[in-house]
Structure 1
Amino acid sequence: MIHNFNAGPSILPKEVFEQASQAILNFNNSGLSILEIGHRTPLFETVMEEARSLVKELMQLDEDHEVLFLHGGATTQFMQVPMNLLKQDGVAAYTETGTWANKAIKEAKLFGHVEIAGSAKESNFTTIPKQLSFSKTAAYLHITTNETIAGTQWHHLPYDCGVPLVADMSSDILSRTLNFNKFDLIYAGAQKNMGAAGVNLVVINKTILGNAERVIPTVLDYQNHIKEKSMLNTPPVFAVYVAMLTLRWLKEQGGVAAIETINQQKADLLYSTLETIPFINLPVAKEDRSLMNVVFTMKDEMLEKEFLQYTKDANMYGVKGHRSVGGFRMSLYNALPLSSVQYGVDVIKEFAAKKG
């Protein structure tokens, strides 16, 4: 059995794989594959509507918030957000917390001025900024709620920041209870907690749109996608279907609150084990550690190659750290069972005992 700790695309529930594979052969007993049905047929329209409705239900969204499923992943949103929200001579506030926040900052600078509201650069991105400072005339404040590479996560969110709050939630979407209505725009690639690669979730408060004072290409204008209910152009049909199945699965588990309890158990188990091993270093400040992406290194670099091979031999997949930082990373997304984390902990203890 493979235990999948990959950071993304990542593990999905077994039930989702089974249902999705059946749909490739025969979708809803139609005799057609999900891969060949028309996106404007009732067969798929019901899929899109259920996916959107499930997001609204799981997030408990109010009537001002719209749900979109779009192409391009979170990377497209790095430029689509400022294109829609930031005036050419305007200012947007961004927090600088790691690789993904920095990518968002780079794209925003193409559309206006960027103000760094808080930075973790001095700590080498091992912390989350505790004090934010930015212009109250800013078009919005942007945060990356979870940094998959740095292994940090916002646990105290700036809900009442005085300006529209925008969040990249790609790696912790629907993994914990939040007041989602406090966010004016949320975006998240589906391939970590919510489905397969190829589709991006956008949740947007429609009252903040229409003020950018620029010509926005038709397919990049959120208002057009809202009007057409995510069917402005051909959506990524299969990816939306897998997202819908995953959202169904999450609801069946008891929703976001229930999965948060399990996610906390998984993180507590792994972090508490790693803390007991003398030759392992946990670089992230304890209060800012991610519940989704646990990063660590070996104090003796000579052990790293040996440890990686040990995990591979034990059928642990995706433990190697990101190529830009090295070390190790174990991702604990929604679909990863607690039993896999227990197995991983046992393997780590075995390795430590051999080196003890």
Structure 2
Amino acid sequence: MSREKVYNFSAGPSMMPESVLNKAGSEISDYMGSGMSVMEMSHRSSLFGEIFAETKRKLRDALNVPDSHEILFLQGGATLQFAAIPLNLMGSGKCADYAVTGNFSGLAAKEAEKYGSVHIACDSSDRGHSYIPPELSLSAASSYFYYCANNTIYGTEWQSVPDTKGKTIVCDMSSDILSKPVDVSKFGLIYAGAQKNMAPAGLTVVIVDKALAGRQMDICPSVMSYDTLIKKDSMLNTPPCWCIYMLGLMLDWLAGIGGVAAMQEIKRERAKLVYDVLDNSKLYIPHAERDSRSDMNVTFRTGSDELDAQFVKGAAAEGLLNLKGHRLTGGIRASLYNAMPMEGAQALADYMKKFEVEHHV
């Protein structure tokens, strides 16, 4: 099956724009006449230094990151930040608020418990993580409030930044970063694994208010210390050079279509194509409640595990790949990240309609 006939709905790593892959392919063995691939370059070389600085600038421009915040390009995946955040930010009070609205925020809260007291500000597990709770219960003793902006497994998304009454906000934006404008100044820290909307797997972006640096616990490893990483400009050790280069290409592509403001309109229209089918269906059962729906991950079932499996198999035969739901939930999940073209969402919507005609009793 040729690439032209495939749409990859994987939750991550996700599909990338054809133009980005072609650009990377044209430079993979010889970047800018250097005779070297970016994968071969020393991270201390002047040529890679230019790539690094330019990618950082592009990201700062794309998200309008204020000078008060530093951008870090790190390894270890988003999961490493589950520990790095409390180690750096819990402070002497050793207490933090966590919103548990899905699997990954739950794992983050559990990891944070190793380093201090975790207060659960809200928990959506009472309804299978199908909604975003409307109210928060914040602890007066907490150093920060943590939440995950988009829940890939359950298909829910915070529709706005929660009001924490001035408390430092920490946010995992792994699955919706660069999909809409964000007021970065509202956040003490934003982090995101790159493999959904930014670059291949291997890069984690951290955007941190420099005023929060230097508060790490004594037990915090140097490689996880934001203070140290800021001072070393992400190069305490070798950064994921190729992924940083790819992020630069992705940011060029994003700028070319109008930036995050344009992407916000695109993602809404793209998701609507699929949700409109769900809302007019007698077969499909959406998981997320309407006012909490994600534009990035659409989750649903047919009502039967066997029929879910038939749906996924039939879709794959038509080039609609990786629609199987997460192992924790089953069902069907369509991930509509930034690089998914409108044609992909339309192809899925058309297949859903056809499948319902063939299988609805």
- Scaled to the shorter chain, the TM-score interval is over 0.9
2:29 corresponding residue in structure 1: 25
2:205 to 189, 201, 215: 201
Matched, 1:7 2:11: yes
Matched, 1:125 2:129: yes
Output the CA distance in 1 between the equivalents of 2:187 and 2:263.
21
Q: Which runs of 5+ in 1 are unaligned?
A: none
**Which deviates further from its counterpart, 334-343 or 86-95?**
86-95
Please give the secondary structure, in 2, of the residue aligned with 1:29.
Answer: coil
Matched, 1:103 2:103: no
Matched, 1:51 2:55: yes
Output the CA distance in 2 between the equivalents of 1:21 and 1:158.
41
The one-letter amino acid of 1:228's match is K
Superposition map of 1:257-296 within 5 A: 257-296=261-300
Matched, 1:255 2:253: no
Matched, 1:188 2:192: yes
Q: Contact conserved, 1:60 with 1:180, CA < 8 A, in 2?
A: yes
Superposition map of 1:1-356 within 5 A: 1-87=5-91, 89-356=93-360
Please give the secondary structure, in 2, of the residue aligned with 1:201.
Answer: strand
**Which deviates further from its counterpart, 318-327 or 132-141?**
132-141
**TM-superposed deviation, 1:213:** 4.5
**TM-superposed deviation, 1:136:** 3.0
Q: Contact conserved, 1:137 with 1:163, CA < 8 A, in 2?
A: no
Q: Deviations over 1:8-59 (max 9, x none)?
A: 0001111111122222211111111111111111110111111111111111
Q: Contact conserved, 1:170 with 1:192, CA < 8 A, in 2?
A: yes
**TM-superposed deviation, 1:160:** 4.6
Q: 1:2 to 1:213 in 2, by over 3 A?
A: closer
Q: Contact conserved, 2:99 with 2:120, CA < 8 A, in 1?
A: yes
Output the CA distance in 1 between the equivalents of 2:227 and 2:34.
33
Q: Contact conserved, 2:93 with 2:143, CA < 8 A, in 1?
A: no
The one-letter amino acid of 2:278's match is L
**Which deviates further from its counterpart, 97-106 or 18-27?**
18-27
**Which deviates further from its counterpart, 130-139 or 62-71?**
130-139
Output the CA distance in 1 between the equivalents of 2:123 and 2:166.
19
Tell me the number of residue pairs that the alignment of Structure 1 and Structure 2 aligns. Answer: 356
Output the CA distance in 1 between the equivalents of 2:196 and 2:79.
14
**Which deviates further from its counterpart, 13-22 or 167-176?**
13-22
Output the CA distance in 2 between the equivalents of 1:160 and 1:78.
20
Task: State the Cα RMSD in Å.
Answer: 1.3
Q: Deviations over 1:70-114 (max 9, x none)?
A: 001100000011111113652100001110001101111111110
Q: Deviations over 1:252-281 (max 9, x none)?
A: 111100011000000111101122120110
Q: Which runs of 5+ in 2 are unaligned?
A: none
**TM-superposed deviation, 1:167:** 0.2
Output the CA distance in 1 between the equivalents of 2:277 and 2:71.
39
Please give the secondary structure, in 2, of the residue aligned with 1:25.
Answer: coil
TM-score by length of structure 1 reads 0.97
Please give the secondary structure, in 1, of the residue aligned with 2:119.
Answer: strand
State the 4+ residue runs in structure 1 displaced beyond 3 angstroms.
none
